[in-house]
Amino acid sequence: MQITMIGAGYVGLTTGTCLAAIGHGVCCYDIDAAKISRLRRFDPPIYEPGLEDAMRQAVAAGHLRFTSRLRESVSDADVVFIAVGTPAGPGGGIDLSHVLGAAKRIAPHLKRSALVVIKSTVVVGTARRVRETIARKRSAFDIRVASNPEFLREGSAMADFLGPDRIVIGADDTRSRNILRALYRPLARAGVPVVATTTGNAELIKYAANAFLALKIGFVNDVADLCERTGGDIADVARGIGLDRRIGDSFLAPGPGFGGSCFPKDTRAFAATGRQFGAPQKLVETLIARNDQRKVALARRILKEGRLSPGGRVAVLGLAFKANTDDVRESAALTVIPALQEASLQVIAHDPKAEANARRHMKDVIWAESPYAACKGASAAIVLTEWDEYRQLNLSRLAGELSGDLLVDYRNLFDPQAVVQHGLRYISLGRSAAPADQCTGVSSLKTWDRRVAAPGHA
């Protein structure tokens, strides 16, 4: 099958490369000609493990190509995916102008039998709007529009595409549904369940799934706060919850609030859709507010509990919103770093992959080449992203580089006892809060007993 991907960003590029890897002929088109030039040189503008190798193999096999010529890319395609951005719009909704703009531009070049498939995350009713947009340009033709939301995660996008939990195909007619079934047959044959439904349901599935996952994160963050107050340990509590198969163990790690290009935008859009249709999504509305507040509260906590002197230097380790990506959109660092700077602290930052993107969003930051270089002479180290590189840090070396004694770990990467043994004060999440002049994060039966006996303890 000949496929064209409109938009060669995170989703378009990884999906296009993977569709080529399972044997389809794929042409990736992007409005950004500079991006296409880079892709032709196998220099993807995003960091994604395994992507570059897969691109090289697919191009060498003659299954993948890149172009900035729209007509050439669309005119012989059997299936045209729209995988352009859907940024946040006013009032929490999304801005559909890229999707509708792409539909308008491709319309004159589509061959008569082409199926247009919306890959971008869009609000319910968008497939109908795309169909109307194309029909305005091509009234003589009956172009079909389907919906095929993407569930891949940045950092494991290739594996997620090739081994997903399910594939959702939304189509309002049998022919379109059969084309999508044929497209994904190699994955379905390997046992991946296919959910075939209407376009409207497919659009709702994507938002409802992301809202649910975000709710899990928000929930475990609240439970982590409760663990701190009661002298508990979120690791044990989360494991005890997650081993229940009805709940599952994913998305149960406490952190500094979710970020990235999807959860913040998608939860807001889901809530806005609920308001629009008179079915308010109150749980999700509360989650959005709690998540925003959490980033601010955790930034304040560093200032309150850290006892950092104005004018001093602090090291921030991790700028990406999560590990294995260079994406900094809505990352905790974007809230924490300005708060530290406002308190007259000088920030020196490190991230294994996200520095280039972070530079576009952050001012007056000193950039370090390694986590140890960042910590040199700093009064505190603050870990915001769960990179393996940070998990493996040598605590003795880290303590030696710091001029102060504070390690803030908002990803719970370290064993509290090990941190304390290196003479560091430790702030982590969901482990018992200790008296201000001692280490935090170490719970004992004694403190737990005392706090459970006095539930008002703060």
Q: Is residue 120 near ligand NAD by the rule CB under 6 A?
A: yes
314 binds ligand NAD, rule: CB under 6 A? no
Residue 126 tokens read as 């968008």
For residue 3, state whether it binds ligand NAD (rule: CB under 6 A).
no
Judged by CB under 6 A, does residue 83 bind ligand NAD? Answer: yes
User: Which of 21, 102, 337, 427: binder of ligand NAD (CB under 6 A)?
Assistant: 102
Q: How far from the centroid of its chain's Cα atoms is residue 395's Cα?
A: 29
> Is 18 among the catalytic positions?
no
For residue 255, the tally of other CB atoms under 10 A from its CB is 23
Pure H helices in 231-262: 234-242
Smaller CB distance to ligand NAD: residue 101 or 338?
Answer: 101
Residue identified by tokens 């406002």 is: 342
Name the minimum Å distance from CB 325 to ligand NAD.
Answer: 8
Q: How far is the C-alpha of 107 from the C-alpha of 85, rounded, in Å?
A: 19
CB closer to ligand NAD out of 30 and 203:
30
Comparing CB distances to ligand NAD, the nearer of 6 and 362 is 6
* Separation of alpha carbons 377 and 289, rounded Å: 36
Q: Nearest distance from residue 96's CB to ligand NAD, in Å?
A: 10
Nearer to ligand NAD, 101 or 125 (CB): 101
- Nearest approach in angstroms of CB 326 to ligand NAD is 11
9 contacts ligand NAD (rule: CB under 6 A): yes
By CB under 6 A, the count of residues binding ligand NAD is 27
For 41, other C-beta atoms within 10 Å of its C-beta total 9
Please state, in angstroms and rounded to a whole number, the distance separating the CA atoms of residues 313 and 342: 13
Catalytic residue, from 18, 227, 262, 375: name it. 262
Residue 410's SS3 state is coil
Binding mask 42-81 for ligand NAD (x = CB under 6 A): ----------------------------------------
290 Cβ contact list (under 8 Å, min separation 6): 218, 221, 222
Decide: is 238 part of the binding site for ligand NAD (CB under 6 A).
Answer: no
**Which range, of 4-12, 60-68, 280-288, 372-380, touches ligand NAD by CB under 6 A?**
4-12
Residues 288, 258: Cα–Cα separation, whole Å: 10
What does the alpha-carbon distance between residue 179 and residue 80 come to, in Å, rounded to a whole number? 12
117 binds ligand NAD (CB under 6 A): no
Nearer to ligand NAD, 12 or 416 (CB): 12
Partnered with residue 347 across adjacent β-strands are: 314
CA–CA gap between residue 455 and residue 458 (Å, rounded): 8
Strand partners, 334: none
- Binds ligand NAD (CB under 6 A): choice among 23, 32, 388, 444: 32
Least distance to ligand NAD, CB of residue 261, Å:
5
* Piece of 20-28, 99-107, 225-233, 374-382 that binds ligand NAD (CB under 6 A): 99-107
- Applying the rule CB under 6 A, the residues between 262 and 301 that interact with ligand NAD are 262
What are the tokens at 276?
Answer: 């629009």
Buried b (16+ CB within 10 A) or exposed e, 429-439: bbbbbbeeeeb
Within 10 Å of residue 21's Cβ, how many Cβ atoms?
20
Report the distance separating Cα 204 and Cα 367, nearest Å. Answer: 41
- Which window, 10-18, 295-303, 316-324, 434-442, contacts ligand NAD (CB under 6 A)? 10-18
Binding site for ligand NAD (CB under 6 A): 6-12, 29-32, 35, 83-86, 98, 101-102, 105, 120-121, 150, 152, 154, 261-262
Active site residues: 262
